Copies of this chain bind each other. A is one copy, B any other.
């Protein structure tokens, strides 16, 4: 807020008292924080002609977006993402929401921002672990899109690690385009948008079991390798996919191992509360190969036996 929020508010002529803050981290993505922010806006007398400006990472975007989606049945939101993950993923496509005890993003709304403003130099003030976590979603985009995109990312890994602006600009440009292309084809996640969930069924479960102490991107990184193992075990993908995913995670400085203290059964149980469940069955967006999601005919969702999930988690240790 002191670094970017207040200066932006000053330039917009917004009084500091209208700048609302939250405690950083996933633990703020709750219904009670949503209610608190809504009530603060009501106290200040904001009408239906208000605009919410969400300055921050994915948590701020999701939470402020949901406040905007439901404030007097919806006011516009402008997303100003300040993390790599929010720039290339969370701020695009209108997903907003909060978590409940039962799981992540279980309450929310589709509410497209009227503007997304990604100001690249802010990435240079991001903690390194946060930046790397954003690269996990970039890797996911590469893996689900094409060998060309994957190769570009790996070829530029060093320049990106040095936070070189031309590389950052090209990264954000490419990955915003990938996300927009998918979302435009399927806003409400009835089909192809589900491919963006690669790595996320296991990823969300690990994040939930860690009590949101781990970063979303770190969990997705581990989830992508585990889900590549699942695809390989089910003969949906060749075993070489597992090696490619692991090599890419290493090249980008991303974790690939399931945390030692997390039992595989606990993670398995946590997958069951995932939104992607249909009629009670958990569905995975599995890769058949780089650029190729399995089960395109049946809505990109694959059911996986519990034993295969547990084996894949155990192999990722």
Contacts and interface: CB of A to CB of B under 8 A. Distances in A.
A201 interface: no
Contacts of A95: 73
B97 A275 contact: no
A279 B46 CA distance: 7
Contacts of A70: 70, 97, 107-109
Given A47-B279, A277-B47, A110 B74 contact: yes
A244 interface: no
Interface stretch (A34-42, A119-127, A227-235, A263-271): A34-42
Interface string A272-301: 110111111000000000000000000000
A69 interface: yes
A272 B45 CA distance: 9
A276 B47 CA distance: 7
A200 B68 CA distance: 24
A292 to B, nearest CB: 24
B109 A279 contact: no
Contacts of A35: 31, 100
B275 A72 contact: yes
Contact of A97 (B73, B106, B108, B110): B73
A278 B47 contact: yes
A145 interface: no
A173 interface: no
A75 to B, nearest CB: 10
A300 B144 CA distance: 50
A49 B100 contact: no
Interface string A167-196: 000000000000000000000100000000
Contacts of A42: 100, 102-103, 106, 273
Contact of A74 (B31, B100, B188, B278): B188
Contacts of A97: 70, 73
Given A38-B100, A102-B39, A188-B74, A45 B277 contact: yes
Contacts of A106: 38, 42, 71-72
A35 B103 CA distance: 14
Interface string A148-177: 000000000000000000000000000000
A49 B279 contact: yes
Interface of A: 31, 35, 38-39, 42-43, 45, 47-49, 69-74, 95-97, 100-103, 105-110, 188, 272-273, 275-280
Given A42-B273, A73-B105, 19 more contacts: A35-B100, A38-B100, A39-B100, A42-B102, A42-B106, A45-B272, A45-B277, A47-B275, A47-B277, A47-B278, A49-B279, A70-B107, A71-B106, A72-B106, A72-B107, A73-B95, A73-B96, A73-B108, A73-B110
Q: Closest 9 interchain pairs by CB? A: A42-B102, A47-B277, A73-B108, A72-B275, A49-B278, A70-B107, A47-B278, A31-B35, A45-B280
